[in-house]
Amino acid sequence: MTKWVIGIIGGSGLYAIDGLEDRREEPGLTAWGAPSDTLVRGRIGKVEFVFLPRHGQGHRLTPTDVPYRANIAALKAAGCTDVLSISACGSLQEQYAPGDFVAVDQFIDRTFAREKTFFGPGMVAHVSMAQPVCGRLSGLAAEAVAAVGGKVHLGGSYLAMEGPQFSSLAESRLYRSWGCHVIGMTNMPEAKLAREAELPYATLAMVTDYDCWRAETEAVTVTNVLEVMLQNSALARRAIVHLAGVLNETPRTPSPQGIESCLDFALITAPDARDPEFLDKLQVIAGRALGS
Catalytic residues: 209, 211
- DSSP-assigned letter for residue 147: H
What CA–CA distances, in Å, run from 242 to 81, 100, 149, 160?
19, 18, 11, 28
Reduced to 3 states (helix: H, G, I; strand: E, B; else coil), residue 173 is helix
Give CA–CA dist 35/87, Å, rounded. Answer: 17
Q: Which residues of 127-159 are buried (b: 16+ CB within 10 A; e: fewer)?
A: bebeebbbbbbbebbbbbbeebebebbeebbbb
Q: Tell me how far apart the 2 most distant CA atoms of the chain are, in Å.
A: 61
Reduced to 3 states (helix: H, G, I; strand: E, B; else coil), residue 153 is strand
What is the separation, in whole angstroms, between the first and last Cα of the chain?
Answer: 19
